[in-house]
Amino acid sequence: MKRRSFLNKAAITSALTAAPLLNFGREYESAIDRTPKSSMPSDLKITDIKCGYIRGGHSLFVKIYSNQDIVGHGEGVDATPGTYHLVKIMGQRIKGQNPLNVHKLFETIRKSGFFEGAQAGMYVAVLTAVETALWDLAGKALGLPVYQLLGGKFRDSVRVYMDTALYQNRLPKPEDFAEAAKEAVDMGFTAVKFDLDQANDPNKYDKFNWTASPAEMQRMYDQMAATRAAVGPNIDICADMHGKYDAITGERVAKMLEPLNLMWLEEPIAAENTDAYKKITDSTSTPICAGENHYLAHGFRPLLENGAVDIIMPDLQKCGGLGEAQRIANLANLYYVPFAPHMVASYLGAMASAHVCASVPNFMIMEWQIYFHKNPMYREIVTFEGEAVENGFIKVRDVPGIGVEINQEAMRKYAPEGVPFFE
């Protein structure tokens, strides 16, 4: 009995002694699993850049690959059709370099393109997609969200306004404006935007004349007045003229809409003439907003120096990238001008923009599109966790990089024919 008792006690003691050792082994294995298997960030290298398009080429998506199997995602819009080979040229200029040197690579591409159109347009729009993908890759490599790489955040969530896409080519009536505005408010948005330009308005003088007729102006007023009546005084309303009118029309429309207390009147005239913008802005209490067709900080300098606009709205998917967008916002902040980015991209572009909006003090509001809620393509072509928008705010993602990625296979069915797709 004594021998049996001794053996039992020995077995129990052995098991108790072994348990911590077994647990230690499991913890050690778990620690190994948690340890990054990639090499040091200083050894990170760009190995390839590939791209794909949707919307007939007007939305460009870029993926930058690295030697550590970390991939960065970026997006450019509008000035992107036919730019496949430009993406490849830019890729060759930075291949083999460390993607963590985002500003250096941005300048490498920009300065090497001085005689290729690097001042504006397609070149800068493609550079924007590439630069954004570099930030995403850098964030993933360092385990930090992009806003942290940009210096941290002033806010956790970014307020957005709903672009209702009530396009004027459908000849909507004032009651259509009112209904669309109420729908947006019911969805939780506290700001809405509508288009005022109408190419097929039967009251236009002709399709080339940029002067609005009295009947056109009355239509604009009636549509915006119906919107204000529908949502009351505490909802912000924006009106967009898409740069389709002359200076005298812009001035008259801005003055006419003063009683409706708009958040802003957007691009009453084309982007090129800063002096004409200043004339309109000085003539009215309606805030004038512009910038979606300006490029790089250089393009915003005269607007700000001359007091030509009250609010700037760079498009962060074509103005030069996220770092350049922050430079534009900080430049505007010196003039006490709010920063309200234009945004007609996918949710990848929206979240990339949100990281910048979180990182600057003078952020006002960012554009959001009704197509996110009504066109299934925009949910299919990206992957992310959680809700996209809640009660008119985007929560800035706290995961490494941008926090949204391209769903390449889902995007394939929307790609234009005859254009290489991530090749």
Rounded CA separation 129/236 (Å): 31
End position of a domain, from candidates 143, 174, 198: 143
Rounded CA separation 326/341 (Å): 11
152 and 129 in a common domain: no
190 and 131 in a common domain: no
358 and 276 in a common domain: yes
Q: What is the arithmetic mean of pLDDT over 49-61?
A: 97
The CATH number linked to 374 is 3.20.20.120
The 10s digit of each residue's pLDDT in 314-331 is: 999 999 999 999 999 999
381 and 240 in a common domain: yes
Confidence band of 169 (pLDDT split at 50, 70, 90): low
**Tell me, what's the pLDDT at 151?**
97
C-alpha closest to that of 74 among 353, 376, 388: 353
**Tell me, what's the pLDDT at 259?**
98
* Amino acid at residue number 283: S
376 and 321 in a common domain: yes
- Residue 104, in any domain of the structure: yes
Rounded CA separation 332/342 (Å): 15
Confidence band of 370 (pLDDT split at 50, 70, 90): very high
- Residue 102, in any domain of the structure: yes
- Residue 198, in any domain of the structure: yes
- Residue 25, in any domain of the structure: no
**Tell me, what's the pLDDT at 306?**
96
The 10s digit of each residue's pLDDT in 184-207 is: 999 999 999 999 998 889 999 998
C-alpha closest to that of 177 among 207, 198, 199: 198
β-strand pairing of 236-240 with 191-195: parallel
Confidence band of 336 (pLDDT split at 50, 70, 90): very high
277 and 242 in a common domain: yes
Residue 187 belongs to what domain range? Answer: 148-399
**Tell me, what's the pLDDT at 90?**
97
Q: Domain total for the chain? A: 2
For the entire predicted model, the pTM comes to: 0.89
Confidence band of 34 (pLDDT split at 50, 70, 90): low
186 and 104 in a common domain: no
Q: How confident is the prediction for the chain on average, in pLDDT?
A: 92
169 and 290 in a common domain: yes
242 and 120 in a common domain: no
The 10s digit of each residue's pLDDT in 76-133 is: 999 999 999 999 999 999 999 999 999 999 999 999 999 999 999 999 999 999 999 9
The CATH number linked to 103 is 3.30.390.10
**Tell me, what's the pLDDT at 132?**
98
- Residue 46, in any domain of the structure: yes
Confidence band of 406 (pLDDT split at 50, 70, 90): very high
199 and 96 in a common domain: no
